[in-house]
Amino acid sequence: MIIKMQTVATAGEIAAVEARVRDLGYTTGKMIGEQVTLIGVYGDISRLPVDEIGQMPGVERLIPISRAYKRVAQKGDPLKPIRVTVDIGGVTAGGADLVVIAGPCSVESESQIMDAARVVKEAGAQCLRGGVVKYRSSPYSGWEGLGSSDQDSLRRGLELIVRAGREFELPTVVEILDQADLPLYEDAGVACLQIGEPNSKNQALLNRLRETPLPVIHKRGNSLDTEAYLLWVERMLTGGKENVILCERGITSCNRYTRNTLDLGSVAAFHYQLSGLPVAIDASHGTGIRDLVFPLTLAGITAGASVVLVEAHPNPLVAKSDGMQGLFPEQLQGLVRAARETWLARVRTDREYVPSIALQRAYEARMQADRARFFGEG
């Protein structure tokens, strides 16, 4: 962490900041320039009271100089960051085109998943999603998926969704719950694995996924702050894996109207500031309300998402799980059309995005003159 002092900071103010930081148990170092003094802070900055230090007299701002998540973090020139692309069965996520992954919450039967794949293909989405085993916090919550009873049923469920995907030339995205089942998913021909919210902090599962060549969509846990989430994603990447997609699907908040609170601020932070990995938006789980999926999916694309996850069912009124948030086929068609229009608009408007680092040095050079001009200082 670097503490940048104001150009008008006095020697006493600088000394006071150094003393306070040392009192908190940190080691400090100081660089004194012609106009600006920088104070380096060494140690675990996660416990540094940044609000308190930032408000001390003479402090201009605090600058993080490293992040605990080294592999997830954005790389390259801040003005031209390196963007990672992820291949999902021949579909490129994080590249020049928007990727839409759609399908039912779960695989319910052969005819249902075949019909769902047809609906997804006709709508213009590129990938088919569907759960074969569903996570349930209560044994009384109902449907746990076609493949929940044993490994034979899991194989059968995986076979059904992969066959439906191949029938309609759609790579398949399937949630995995247990690290021991990974070979079954690989052998079945699944194109991409999904880590659901309940397993976002499953250490054993994430460690195991370092070894698979399959891409992974990692959904953010609803209680994880932005940086804690990226550290859990980092766990998969430490072995050299790179083909991971971040996914915002809503966090817990005081809001009780929607199922979760979709954190669009973090979507923007992931894309524009924190990471080079592709970012997905899942407004189905982020809202839990069918009629809100459309506007919040478009908002997520505008905020920085290049991948869309959406639940859709041939008839959500008879769905065995999450029917309230599953789109009707006509709604999916409209969403895909609107999402592509929104993506094209974002590509155009992104040309106007200017990161502060491109401007800051010029404005820092004007600070003393502007203080005198605006406030009569100096």
Give the tens place of pLDDT for each residue, 310-344: 999 999 999 998 899 999 999 999 999 999 999 99
Q: What pLDDT, on the 0 to 100 scale, is given for residue 378?
A: 64
Residue type, 319: A
Considering 43, 66, 89, which residue would you say is the last residue of a domain?
A: 66
Residue 73 confidence (pLDDT) above 90: no
Mark whether 59 and 86 lie in a shared domain. no
Mark whether 231 and 179 lie in a shared domain. yes
Residue 305 confidence (pLDDT) above 80: yes
Domain annotation covers residue 344:
yes
Q: What pLDDT, on the 0 to 100 scale, is given for residue 326?
A: 97
Q: What pLDDT, on the 0 to 100 scale, is given for residue 2?
A: 86
Q: Calculate mean pLDDT across residues 125-140.
A: 87
Domain annotation covers residue 71:
no
Q: Calculate mean pLDDT across residues 144-173.
A: 93
**Dist. CA 34–CA 37, nearest whole Å:** 8
Considering 21, 38, 66, which residue would you say is the last residue of a domain?
A: 66
Q: What pLDDT, on the 0 to 100 scale, is given for residue 75?
A: 79
Domain annotation covers residue 346:
yes
Mark whether 168 and 306 lie in a shared domain. yes
Domain annotation covers residue 365:
no
Mark whether 43 and 157 lie in a shared domain. no
Residue 123 confidence (pLDDT) above 80: yes
Residue type, 44: D
Residue 220 confidence (pLDDT) above 90: yes
Mark whether 142 and 31 lie in a shared domain. no
Domain annotation covers residue 369:
no
Domain annotation covers residue 227:
yes
Mark whether 25 and 150 lie in a shared domain. no
> What backbone torsions phi and psi does residue 353 show, to the nearest 5 degrees?
-75, 125
Mark whether 114 and 159 lie in a shared domain. yes
Q: Calculate mean pLDDT across residues 197-220.
A: 96
Residue 299 confidence (pLDDT) above 70: yes
- Which pairs count as long-range contacts for 249-255, CB under 8 Å and 24+ apart, including other chains? 249/197, 249/219, 249/220, 249/222, 249/282, 249/285, 249/286, 249/309, 250/222, 250/282, 250/285, 250/286, 250/287, 251/220, 251/222, 251/223, 251/224, 252/222, 252/223
Residue 45 confidence (pLDDT) above 90: no
Residue 113 confidence (pLDDT) above 90: yes
Mark whether 57 and 153 lie in a shared domain. no
The dihedral region occupied by 187, where left means phi > 0, alpha psi between -120 and 50, and beta the remainder, is alpha
What is the CATH classification number for the domain harbouring 36? 3.30.70.1140
Residue 143 confidence (pLDDT) above 80: no
Instruction: Choose between 67 and 16: higher pLDDT.
Output: 16
Q: Which segment of 201-215, 226-240, 258-272, 325-339 scores lowest on mean pLDDT?
A: 226-240
Domain annotation covers residue 376:
no
CB-CB contact of 124 with 332 (8 Å): no
H or E segment at 3?
strand 2-5
Give the pTM.
Answer: 0.83
Mark whether 83 and 52 lie in a shared domain. no
Domain annotation covers residue 161:
yes
**Dist. CA 267–CA 303, nearest whole Å:** 6
Residue 66 confidence (pLDDT) above 70: no
Residue 125 confidence (pLDDT) above 90: yes
With a pLDDT cut of 70, the percent of the chain lying above it is 98
Q: What pLDDT, on the 0 to 100 scale, is given for residue 341?
A: 98
Residue 196 confidence (pLDDT) above 70: yes
Q: Calculate mean pLDDT across residues 173-201.
A: 96
Give the tens place of pLDDT for each residue, 246-287: 999 999 999 999 999 999 999 999 999 999 999 999 999 999
Q: What pLDDT, on the 0 to 100 scale, is given for residue 65?
A: 65
* Tally of domains within the chain: 2
Round the average pLDDT of the chain to a whole number and report it: 92
Mark whether 50 and 81 lie in a shared domain. no
**Dist. CA 265–CA 249, nearest whole Å:** 12
What is the CATH classification number for the domain harbouring 237? 3.20.20.70
Q: Would you place residue 239 in the very low, low, confident or very high pLDDT band (cuts 50, 70, 90)? A: confident
Mark whether 168 and 312 lie in a shared domain. yes
Mark whether 198 and 330 lie in a shared domain. yes
Q: Would you place residue 361 in the very low, low, confident or very high pLDDT band (cuts 50, 70, 90)? A: confident
Secondary structure (DSSP) of 308-361:
EEEEB-S-GGG-SS-TTTPBPHHHHHHHHHHHHHHHHHHHHHGGG---THHHHH
Structural domain that includes position 20:
2-66
